[in-house]
Structure 1
Amino acid sequence: MKIGLDIMGGDFAPKATVLGAIEAYKVLSANQKLVLIGDKEQALSILHENNFSPDNFDFVHTTEVIGMGEHPTKAVVQKPNSSISLGFKLLKEGGIDAFSSAGNSGAMLVGAMFSVKAIPGVLRPAITSVMPKLEEGLGILVDVGANADCKPEYLFQFGVFGSLFAQYVYNISNPRVALVNIGEEEEKGNLLCQAAYPLMKESTQFNFVGNAEGRDMFSDLADVFVCDGFTGNVMLKFAESFYVISRKKKIKDDFFDKFNYEQYGGSPILGVNAPVVVGHGISNAEAIKNMVVLCRDMVESGLTEKIKLAFQ
């Protein structure tokens, strides 16, 4: 197994990404190799400073970077030698089995769509994120930003993605799937939710348990929470603030600690033909390590093949 890591992506790259690669190496097995994509000279300098052998990694050298503020589509097309573009080229050609970056998230989504492309039958790929539960365990929120505007059929497919992801990557048996709405009654919600509900209710592809309200997000009502990307992104950013506020207020609480993004590493793009994970722009070494680990888990679980089978 080869996992590609964009070492130029993120606010603290390449130092944080290379240090994260070192930490990831320590938890990967002998047959799992990291491919560092970016400025090799800078990477070698950081590895030397930390007395870590570069022989533990493969390298694909480039100094070109897609910046956080660049237009995703234009940047991917105009910068074919950027670390993100080269990562997707390798992924498409089979040089790596998964690709991860804490760089421009829009470019990651565009790159995935242009290179490995959506799985046949998938209307729109989606991005997922983890929501901790108050008691124990975690929930999956999908979509969290790839699709601000959705059709009912998209939400149905997001339910399929989320259920398979929860089952095969997080080992949740028969995951319960809920539709994020403004009330628990079947007829509640905007036109999108009202149309999506019967599609999800009649599905035999996942275990639909009805509507979930905002107050249910951290409960054990469901394992997968489905919504459009606009709603999901607002909810995700709101949830992330819990950890920041608890730190600022000097509140030590085990539940609020679960909102620390570092623990989860990144957000997978589901519905494309290979494992792709997008990390937080402010990712530190711990977050980079966990992003790589998530890539490994996605490859080992055969998640992409499971999704392909679901859409045959």
Structure 2
Amino acid sequence: MKIGLDIMGGDYAPKAIVLGAIAAHQSLAPDEHLVLIGDTQQIKPLLSEQGFNPDHFEFVHTEEVIGMGEHPTKAILQKPNSSISVGFQLLKEGKINSFASAGNSGAMLVGAVFSVKPIAGIARPCLCTIVPKLKGGVGLLLDVGANADCKPDNLVDFGILGSLYAEHIMQIENPKVALMNIGEEDEKGNMLAMATFPLMKQSPHFNFVGNVEGRDLFNDKADVIVCDGFTGNIMLKLAESFYVLTIKKGLKDEFFDRFNYENYGGSPVLGVNAPVLIGHGISSPEAVKNMIFQSRDMINTGLVGKIQAAFQ
């Protein structure tokens, strides 16, 4: 197994990424190898500072970096030797089994679609995120930003993708799938929600439990909550603020501590033909370590193959 990692992506790259890779290495099996993609002239001195043997990693040298504010499509096309572009080329060629980066999220989405491409039958790949539950455990929210505008069929696909991820990665048996709405009644919602509800209700591919409201995000009514990326991204950013607010207020609470993004790694891009993960731009070494573990789990469970089979 070869796990590709962009060393140049993120606000604290390359140091935070390198430290995360070192931390993850301690828990990887002998046949699980990290491939660090980026400027080796910056990477190797950092390894030396930590007294870490560089022979534990594989390296692919690149000389360009796609900045966080660059236009995703233009950057992918104009910087073929960037760490993100090279990472996706390696993934496409099968030289790495997964690719993760805390860099430009738009470039990561564009790169995934252009290189390994969406799985046949999936019109819109999506992003998902882990949501802590009040009584323990976690749920899944998707889409959280890849698709601001969606059609009903897209949301049904997200339900299938989320259900498979919850079952095989989160180990939730027969996960409950719900549609985010402004009320629980079947006929509630805007045009998208009202058109999507009957399609999800009729789908044989997941355990649909109906509509849920925003206040249900952290309870046990559903394991997987589906929405368009515009709604999901707003909910995600609001949820992320809870942890920051508790820190600023000097509050200590076990539940809100679980909102710390570092605990969950990155956001998987579901619906493409290889494992791809996008980390938070401010990813710390702990977040990078967990993103590497997510990559390993997606490879080990054969999640992409299971999604491909579901959409045949």
Structure 2 length as normaliser, TM-score? Answer: 1.00
- Structure 1 partner of 2:160: 160
Structure 2 residue 217 is matched with structure 1 residue 217: yes
- State how far apart, in whole Å, the 1-side matches of 2:278 and 2:101 are: 5
- Structure 1 partner of 2:260: 260
When the two chains are superposed, the root-mean-square deviation of aligned CA atoms in Å is 0.4
In the TM superposition, what is the alpha-carbon distance from 1:123 to its structure 2 partner? 1.0
Structure 2 residue 125 is matched with structure 1 residue 125: yes
- State how far apart, in whole Å, the 2-side matches of 1:28 and 1:185 are: 47
- Structure 2 partner of 1:275: 275
What SS does structure 2 have at the residue aligned with 1:27? coil
- State how far apart, in whole Å, the 2-side matches of 1:212 and 1:86 are: 41
Unaligned runs of 5+ in 2: none
- Structure 2 partner of 1:43: 43
Structure 2 residue 151 is matched with structure 1 residue 151: yes
Structure 2 residue 135 is matched with structure 1 residue 135: yes
In the TM superposition, what is the alpha-carbon distance from 1:136 to its structure 2 partner? 0.6
- State how far apart, in whole Å, the 2-side matches of 1:256 and 1:80 are: 41
- Structure 2 partner of 1:205: 205
In the TM superposition, what is the alpha-carbon distance from 1:105 to its structure 2 partner? 0.2
In the TM superposition, what is the alpha-carbon distance from 1:27 to its structure 2 partner? 1.1
- State how far apart, in whole Å, the 2-side matches of 1:182 and 1:26 are: 46
- Structure 1 partner of 2:244: 244
Structure 2 residue 63 is matched with structure 1 residue 63: yes
- Structure 1 partner of 2:233: 233
- State how far apart, in whole Å, the 1-side matches of 2:41 and 2:293 are: 25
Q: Where do residues 64-103 of structure 1 align in structure 2 (5 Å cutoff)?
A: 64-103=64-103
Percent of paired sites with the same residue: 67
- State how far apart, in whole Å, the 1-side matches of 2:249 and 2:30 are: 43
- Structure 1 partner of 2:24: 24
In the TM superposition, what is the alpha-carbon distance from 1:73 to its structure 2 partner? 0.3
In the TM superposition, what is the alpha-carbon distance from 1:41 to its structure 2 partner? 1.4
What SS does structure 2 have at the residue aligned with 1:154? helix
- Structure 1 partner of 2:294: 294
- State how far apart, in whole Å, the 2-side matches of 1:54 and 1:169 are: 30
What SS does structure 1 have at the residue aligned with 2:262? helix
What SS does structure 2 have at the residue aligned with 1:68? coil
Structure 1 length as normaliser, TM-score? Answer: 1.00
- State how far apart, in whole Å, the 1-side matches of 2:100 and 2:106 are: 13
Q: How many residues align?
A: 312
Letter in 1 for 2:158: F
In the TM superposition, what is the alpha-carbon distance from 1:63 to its structure 2 partner? 2.2
Deviations 1:127-177 (A, max 9, x none): 000110001110100000000000000000000000000000011000000
- State how far apart, in whole Å, the 2-side matches of 1:28 and 1:117 are: 28
- State how far apart, in whole Å, the 2-side matches of 1:211 and 1:126 are: 20
In the TM superposition, what is the alpha-carbon distance from 1:204 to its structure 2 partner? 0.6
Unaligned runs of 5+ in 1: none
- State how far apart, in whole Å, the 1-side matches of 2:169 and 2:40 are: 32
